[in-house]
Amino acid sequence: MNPPSESLQHMRHTLAHLLAAAVLELFPETKPTIGPAIDNGFYYDFEFKTPITEKNLKDIEKKMHKLLPSWKEMAGKEVSEREARNLFKDNPYKLELIDEIIDKGEKITLYTAGKFTDLCRGGHNENPAKEIPSDSFKLSRLAGAYWRGDEKNTQLTRIYGLAFATKEELDAYETMMKEAEKRDHRRLGKELDIFEFDDDVGPGLPLWLPNGAVLIEELEKLAKETEFKGNYVRVRSPHIAKDALYLKSGHLPYYEESMYPPMTYEGGKYYLKAMNCPHHHKIYAARPKSYRDLPLRLAEYGTNYRHEKSGELFGLMRVRSLQMNDAHIYCTEEQFADEFRAVNDLYLKYFRIFGVEKYIMRFSTHDPNRLGEKFVNEPALWKKTEDMVRKVLVNSKIPFVEVANEAAFYGPKIDVQVWSAIGREFTLATNQVDFAVPARFGLTYTDKDGSLKTPLCIHRAPLGTHERFIGFLIEHYGGNFPLWLSPVQVRVIPVLENHYEAAQKIHDSLRQVMIRSEIDLSNNGFGKKIRNAKNDRVCYTIILGEKDIEAGKVTLESRDKGQVGQLSVEEVLKKLQEEIKERK
């Protein structure tokens, strides 16, 4: 993911201040809290005395445009704690921020433009009136947000804004988002009978309907075939484990907030599995290993459970039950480059299959100042491992961007960013290097000289989770899945009732060769049956009329290419089987 330029970041940050100024002009009793720049613009969180609605956004935006010409300077100055507290004496949110600044021993700075002053570290336009095009930003929506993201705190009102360098970029983004709304996986998932959420089951716990189960099975089939050819071996692990396992792996100290609360049983604590790696480490350790056994590639579609916050759940993209296309590769240091490169090649193969043309690897490294807190305290191993990953990425000529302070606690990671067919960005999968946890589990192999050594471990999930990947595919294809992936590959439509028997035989022939066929024997008219097939995004329609029966053939129509022509049943079977096999 290419981060926004510094100038665009400054512009978005400045607009967050301008938003707060406009809100205070219109609603003087409001308490502003924080307002950062984000990937597509900015937002600011407020505590309003009287709730506002979407209708108020136009007035606030007009006020922003009215104030902007007077913002000829964004002036910053350092102030004392006393001055800052006096300025924000009626705003508990700003006072809390001041406390944090003091605790960290940092300087307190204020920035002023026009009549508005805010507590801020900086990073703005020096002359907003001159540097910010008035037609390159707009307010987009309202949302609820808890103070500091904590559900126990006050719920605030968040106002989002869009901002780009030019009006053309803003217009392009809005066009993309309108198309994304049409392709929203939550809407299409319901329309196409793919998945459902139910209050009695619980939020974030998707129920996969028959069409959704087909998508899962086809993706799993693809992964299993690919991994078999790549010399992976498959394993299985339970859905729960004792706390000792996650204490040993280090997940409980670093990750407990995202795990479900423990169950107490027979004097011990058991947790729902939030990740597969500790279980795979135990599988590795179950038998002695020599250098001849490496690399060992253990693969599992493991079901994990994560206690995501209610406010962060989002369709299939953020769930509490997830099935991960997981594998752990145990290798020697000498084997690492080839193994890591092979994993990246696997991603590229999947990109070609799914028509992903734009992608970038987000290489996340550690923060040396947070060793022992957020990252394992092994400075030499961090440097060595990050250098190894960086070298493979550079030598492979794979596009990547480096981001500090976002590594996993046990090693650097790659987040795979992809863009869908309409240009919308997704975080699809992850690829991590673990130099720390294998040693905690005492994992070893006997080297050529008879010494015991600890293997490196590569965590990889090129298809991510079923949930997130299918959510992406729904939007990427707009529900028009390719034949091999489509829940319903063919629908047989007889024109008249006296064609039903012949249509049933064709339907049976398709099912016998594992082609997912349906037959429409409803009372609907022929025209409506055709429309229903199109609305259901069925890949191919077989039409059987009087002339077809007389010719001993059928009429084949493609969802994407229109009428294919009149073919024999044998020709149809051969064509569809070849297309499915090649995963076109």
- Residues annotated as binding site for Zn(2+)? 277, 328, 459
| Amino acid present at 561 | K
DSSP letter string, 31-74: EE----EETTEEEEEEE-SS---TTHHHHHHHHHHHHGGG----
Close Cβ partners of 286 (under 8 Å, ≥ 6 residues apart): none
Residue 189 neighbours by CB distance under 10 Å: 24
- Give the Cα separation of 108 and 262 in Å (integer): 42
Structure tokens at 571: 């020709």
**Mapping DSSP to helix (H, G, I), strand (E, B) and coil, where does residue 153 land?**
coil
Close Cβ partners of 547 (under 8 Å, ≥ 6 residues apart): none
| Amino acid present at 356 | V
| Amino acid present at 320 | R
- Give the Cα separation of 436 and 253 in Å (integer): 15
DSSP letter string, 414-427: EEEEEE-TTS-EEE
Most distant pair of Cα atoms in the chain: their distance:
94
Helices (H), 356-402: 379-396
- Give the Cα separation of 482 and 492 in Å (integer): 18
| Amino acid present at 78 | E
Residue 551: enclosing H or E segment and its boundaries?
helix 546-551
Nearest to 545 by CA among 531, 535, 534, 556: 556
Query: Residue for token digits 């077809």?
Result: 548
Contact 197, 319 (CB under 8 A): no
Contact 238, 273 (CB under 8 A): yes
Binding residues: 277, 328, 459
DSSP letter string, 404-458: TT-SBTTB-EEEEEEE-TTS-EEEEEEEEEESSHHHHTT--EE-TTS-EEPPEEE
- Give the Cα separation of 553 and 442 in Å (integer): 66
Query: Residue for token digits 């035989």?
Result: 505
Q: What angle do CA 248, 252, 258 make, to 5 degrees?
A: 145
Contact 133, 162 (CB under 8 A): no
Nearest to 110 by CA among 135, 142, 140, 88: 88
Characterize 324-335 residue by residue with b for buried, 16 or more Cβ atoms within 10 angstroms of its Cβ, and e for exposed: bbbbbbbbbeeb
Q: What are the two backbone dihedrals, phi and then psi, of residue 268, each rounded to the nearest 5 degrees?
A: -125, 170
